[in-house]
Structure 1
Amino acid sequence: MKFKSALPTLALLLVVFMSSCNNDTDEDLTSDMSAVGKSDSSPSDIYAVNETYNIEPKIGSLTGVNLGIAGDFAILSKTGITDVYKSTITGDIGSSPITGAAILVRCTEVVGTIYTVDAAGPLPCSVTNATRLTTAIGDMQTAYTDAAGRTNPDFLNLGAGNIGGKTLTPGLYKWTSALNIPTDITISGSPTDVFIFQVAGTLKLSSTARMTLTGGVQAKNIFWVVSDAVTCGTTSHFEGNILGMTGINLQTEATINGRLLAQTAVTLQMNAVTQPQ
């Protein structure tokens, strides 16, 4: 009888105990699910992770060519500079290792310094500094190797080697043969954009053809690396640094806003050469 009378009390205690356990479990599960939801699905937390670990796309990632001491020259060559009077050259010029007698530019044609390896250069203005010239020539060759060795071009054989009339945007260009520019072209970009043009053959800018820069593009950031001769036709206009494996020839009254850096000779005929700043 005592056992039967205790049953209702035991049943009531059991109900109370089970209810308490269920509440605790629900609260724990609610707490856990709340934590999971916050870490796994909260937009603010995902954004924070992306901000920390995502790599931003690079814009204008092509780096310029380091010209070293060669960049201090408007004209630099290894085998001399010939000239038909009167040219106008703004910037320093020099030639090495050939004797200064191979620089046939007059003092009145140069706003800058004429550097020679010996005292045989143009008088009375030439400055003998073989050490500086040797360094500059070495830097010129290093710059050529760098520019010619850039890989993964953005544009390959554009125009099949004829780019007359085209607008060129920033990037690395490569031609596996000669490049002809028979008519005007435009080089468009920003002041920090870099252009590298690799030409495996000759480069010819036709007479009267002009290069025009738009969008703030700077000639100092344009590099033409050419394995054969470069020719700028009569009254043409060129923009950028020419790194030539062989000769660079400016025909009558052609002009350039850039540098002539030749591993053989530079030929001038009443030209205007302006070193970009």
Structure 2
Amino acid sequence: MILKRLLPISFVAFAALMTGCSKVQLNDLTPSQTLNNETTPAGSLPVVKLGLSGEYAILSKTGVTNVYKSSVVGDVGSSPITGAAILVTCPEVVGTIFSVDAAGPACKVTDATRLTSSVLDMQAAYTDAAGRVNPDFLDLGAGSIGGKTLTPGLYKFTSALLIPTDITIAGGPNDVWIFQVDGTLTMSDAVRITLAGGAQAKNIFWQASEAVTLGTTSHFEGIILSQTGINLRTGATINGRLLAQTAVTLQMSEVTQP
């Protein structure tokens, strides 16, 4: 009789113990873990969808100027301006050069319809990036972020942004960074962006309402969405994409799509 009374009590205690263990296990999960062991970063931003514009290393609306010899790995296109405004030469591009008409480099492919859609997608991507709300960081460093390590999130700068010394962008391969710049974006000469922890350039978006300038021999990481021009000074390099709503200027520069 005593045994019969003890059994239910023991079962209840065991169930309570197991429930408590389950709670501990769930609570011990880091924000980036899920029960099926997949990685889903907590609070991760949705990427900016580039559409067709994401198939270019360089896409502009008013041309691509160039000081020989530059190097572009990826497609190049400009629209609605004539192909005569695309001044990179065929040997400088590992990819396809798209033009709206018969003008332009000898190796170009004429496809005005594709370019029109690509530019519309570029503008939509810019609007998406600029329209993100509730930034994780507001006017970090008062608009001067040299020497900093930047974790994933939405960064908003209410005026110009300067990168005067080296910075690191650190996070996992699925993490996303969006930088909203209400002004110019300038990287000083010989400054570098370094990726750490598996961060990928394809998940880093720099949206600037005014001109973007990458200094002499500097190195940049990420996708630039500029409402005006993007200027790479002598020897500047980028692992990313140059998507400009006016012109892109290269000066013996290297552009490699991620």
Shorter-chain TM-score above 0.5: yes
Q: For 2:103 and 2:180, how far apart are their aligned partners in 1? A: 36
Q: For 1:145 and 1:38, how far apart are their aligned partners in 2? A: 57
Shift in Å at residue 211 of structure 1?
Answer: 0.6
1:42 counterpart SS class: helix
2:115 counterpart SS class: helix
Number of matched residues?
249
Residue 94 (structure 1) aligned with residue 65 (structure 2):
no
Q: What stretches of structure 2 of length at least 5 have no aligned partner?
A: 33-40
Q: Which amino acid aligns with 1:165?
A: G
Which is higher, the Rg of structure 1 or of structure 2? 1
Shift in Å at residue 48 of structure 1?
Answer: 6.7
Residue 112 (structure 1) aligned with residue 106 (structure 2):
no
What are the superposed Cα offsets for residues 201-257 of structure 1, whole Å, 9 maximum, x if unpaired?
100000001111111111111000111100001111100000001000000110000
Residue in structure 2 matched with residue 69 of structure 1 by the alignment: 52
1:74 counterpart SS class: strand
Residue 151 (structure 1) aligned with residue 125 (structure 2):
no
Alignment RMSD: 2.6
Shift in Å at residue 63 of structure 1?
Answer: 1.4
Q: Give TM-score, length-normalised by structure 2.
A: 0.87
Residue 182 (structure 1) aligned with residue 164 (structure 2):
yes
Runs of 4+ in 1 over 3 A off after TM superposition: 43-52
Summarize the Cα distance change of 1:50–1:160 in structure 2 as closer, same or farther, 3 Å threshold: same
Matches within 5 A, 1:232-243: 232-243=214-225
Q: For 1:107 and 1:245, how far apart are their aligned partners in 2? A: 27
Matches within 5 A, 1:97-246: 97-123=80-106, 125-246=107-228
Shift in Å at residue 47 of structure 1?
Answer: 6.7
Residue 264 (structure 1) aligned with residue 238 (structure 2):
no
Shift in Å at residue 50 of structure 1?
Answer: 10
Q: Which amino acid aligns with 1:76?
A: L
Q: Kindly, what percent of the aligned residue pairs are identical?
A: 68
Shift in Å at residue 192 of structure 1?
Answer: 1.2
Q: Which amino acid aligns with 1:174?
A: K
What are the superposed Cα offsets for residues 34-54 of structure 1, whole Å, 9 maximum, x if unpaired?
7xx949x934357779999xx
Q: For 1:62 and 1:192, how far apart are their aligned partners in 2? A: 10
Q: For 1:255 and 1:80, how far apart are their aligned partners in 2? A: 19
Q: What stretches of structure 1 of length at least 5 have no aligned partner?
A: 1-29
Shift in Å at residue 193 of structure 1?
Answer: 1.1
Residue in structure 1 matched with residue 18 of structure 2 by the alignment: 44
What are the superposed Cα offsets for residues 40-82 of structure 1, whole Å, 9 maximum, x if unpaired?
x934357779999xxx956242111111110100000001100
Q: For 1:135 and 1:43, how far apart are their aligned partners in 2? A: 60
Q: Give TM-score, length-normalised by structure 1.
A: 0.82
Q: Which amino acid aligns with 2:89?
A: R
Q: Name the one with the larger helix percent.
A: 1
Q: Which amino acid aligns with 1:252?
A: T
